[in-house]
Structure 1
Amino acid sequence: MGGDHGPAVVLAGAAIALERRPDTRYVIFGVSEATLPVLERYPELKKVSVFHHCEISVRMDDKPSQALRQGRHKSSMWRAIEAVKTGEADVCVSAGNTGALMAMAKFCLRTMADIERPAIAAIWPTLKGESIVLDVGATIGADAQQLIEFALMGGAMARALFGLERPTVGLLNIGVEEVKGQDEIREAGRFLKEQPPPRIDYHGFVEGDDLGQGRVDVVVTEGFTGNIALKTAEGTARQIAAYLRAAMTRTLLAKIGYFLAKSAFDRLRDKMDPRKVNGGVFLGLNGIVIKSHGGTDAEGIAAAIDLAHTMARTRLREEIAADLASFHGRVTGEATESSESSIP
């Protein structure tokens, strides 16, 4: 029911994803009057789906507290998340209200042990392939401890998704020098450097122009900065695509040149298409939730479902839990040893 277009786009995307991954099975939550007529258009999708009617749906402009208060146990969003909690579904995908989705997911699934705040992790296309950037909008601001937790969660996701043994992690900052940036970032960087986590390689600070270069496998920041960076990158990609379209159709010679180089331009358009990397993963919860952009089309929804299909087959939560337990245990142990050694 979420997103700018509701069931028409969400179910069309589910149908596309089913063609690519025929082993997928769907549990669909929505208002019958809006959902079932659309589902009838996709007979193959209907065959592999279980539908649950819900009394209400969360609106895109609802405040998170309002959605949580009015939508618990009744809304399609809550019941989709609850299906993950009960085991009816392996992963929840929603294009709905981000704040409401996060509030409900935290309330229903709860955060994992040793996690103060969950984060939204996005797949970021780079010149070297793909990176993971987090947080891209779960919460505003983060202290050093939370940035360190983001680094551990991002590293675990990179291992699970990319098959990396020791992913490289960088903290997004206004410069690479250790004296630059806010106190929280410098404190987190100092800690990661002096007490490196067991299964990631801390690279140091990275700047905004390093994101597209693929300088590191995981870029860590707080939600306000991360969301602006994400939206800026998406807008820039659309801007460049518009420039290219205008340039290639301006004159007859340009049109001929475009025709001769069409395959190259098609590859470029595919690389720059934000829909291909649609879907943010909620990390730090006792269950997997994928947030799709609300304004995307069916291809974007399909990409988010593809990501969900992949994430459901990883041991992401186990990886995160093991890393956090190891890291916190080691830090606590070192703190205890330091305290004991100071006793006369």
Structure 2
Amino acid sequence: MKPENQSGVSEFLLLGLSEDPELQPLLFGLFLSMYLVTVLGNLLIILAVSSDSHLHTPMYFFLSNLSLADISFSTSTVPRMLVNIQRQSKTISYAGCLTQVCFVLIFAGLENFLLAAMAYDRYVAICHPLRYTVIMNPRLCVLLILLSLTISIADGLLHSLMVLRLSFCTDLEIPHFFCELDQVIKLACSDTLINNILVYVVTSVLGGVPLLGIIYSYIKIVFSILRMPSSGGKHKAFSTCGSHLSVVSLFYGTAFGVYISSAVTDSTRKTAVASVMYTVVPQMLNPFIYSLRNRDMKEALRKLIGTSPFSRL
């Protein structure tokens, strides 16, 4: 294949999940429905938290930010896929592809850090209940959000700028429904050793540290709960962590599942299908997990829907 300088690359081809023309309307309807459910569900969470004064606590502050990150994550991938299916086009511009890579990394990283911050919040609430309001003060909560966002943006920009130094071949087909960093790097004709090392190192640090923080927090939480004398106190403590633990399991479980599937299979198309499980499904299910498992959230949503103009029709 003839190498082509990065300045001469005009567009990439997103092959999507299937090239079968008969499946395109089905995929369009499925992903449009999933995207609308994701946006609506997470938007309801944000509105419920902001409108109910009882939910103006650190836990729900982090939850509303997680919902915003979920909406942004899905918006960075799904709408472009829907447009390509509707136009029967597989192209995405070079600048558009790098922009998508950057935003996917930013919002994936932000979700990662937010889940760690929520785990720390639960740790403080259960292991240090008397000092909870002192430790988890508004200043610390805002600082954690800003720090998470800053690191995520730096990560996204770093990888995107490193891709700019690569030269690409004439074969610019990405066997995916969005521009994933690994797939873009594989298309390069120039040396990608630095890029690959950077991906492994940064992913290990920015993914591993929050995960270890979550694991440590829940180990301390479990030991603290087991020392509680009453069974009612144990049940209440476990119930406050249930929703967050479910979301953490879904997010990391699907991500590890995609990593394992890509390692054991040579089919890039199967890997693309598996990646839906961490780029679309968790963001859609998170609002349901929190609204169905959390009594305060269900009450806030009931009040919000009850006061909406549509409820009077």
TM-score, length of structure 2 as denominator length: 0.27
The structure whose residues are more often helix, as a share, is: 2
